[in-house]
C-alpha cells in the first residue's frame, strides 16, 4: 500500500470514529439523557464517560456495545448508514 493510500485509510478511520461518537451523542440527546445519566447506567464516573464521548478515551467494542444497549439501539441500526 502506497503512502497516499495509507493516509486515506487513516483519514477514513478517523472520520468513522468521529461519526460513531457523534451518533452516540445524538442518540443520547434524542432520548433526553445527560452524560451523567449514561455514566451512572454504565457504572462509570462522569469524567470517564465524558472522555469517551469526546474521544479522549478510546472506545473499545465491549464498551460501545454497552453504550448502545444503554441507548436502546441495536448495533445493526446504529451502523446502518456507515459506508464500507
Give the predicted TM-score (pTM) of the model: 0.88
Predicted confidence (pLDDT) at residue 75 exceeds the cutoff of 80? yes
pLDDT of residue 84: 60
Quick one: cell of 48?
470517564
Backbone φ and ψ for 49, nearest 5 degrees, come out as: -70, -40
For residues 56 and 50, what is the distance between their CA atoms, to the nearest angstrom?
A: 8
Predicted confidence (pLDDT) at residue 2 exceeds the cutoff of 80? yes
Under the banding of pLDDT at 50, 70 and 90, the label for residue 81 is confident
Amino acid at each position: 500500500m502506497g503512502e497516499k493510500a495509507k493516509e486515506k485509510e487513516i483519514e477514513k478511520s478517523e472520520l468513522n470514529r468521529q461519526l460513531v461518537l457523534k451518533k452516540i451523542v445524538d442518540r443520547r440527546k434524542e432520548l433526553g439523557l445527560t452524560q451523567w445519566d449514561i455514566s451512572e447506567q454504565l457504572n462509570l464516573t462522569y469524567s470517564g464517560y465524558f472522555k469517551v464521548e469526546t474521544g479522549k478515551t478510546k472506545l473499545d467494542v465491549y464498551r460501545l456495545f454497552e453504550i448502545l444497549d444503554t441507548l436502546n439501539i441495536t448495533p445493526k441500526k446504529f451502523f446502518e448508514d456507515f459506508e464500507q
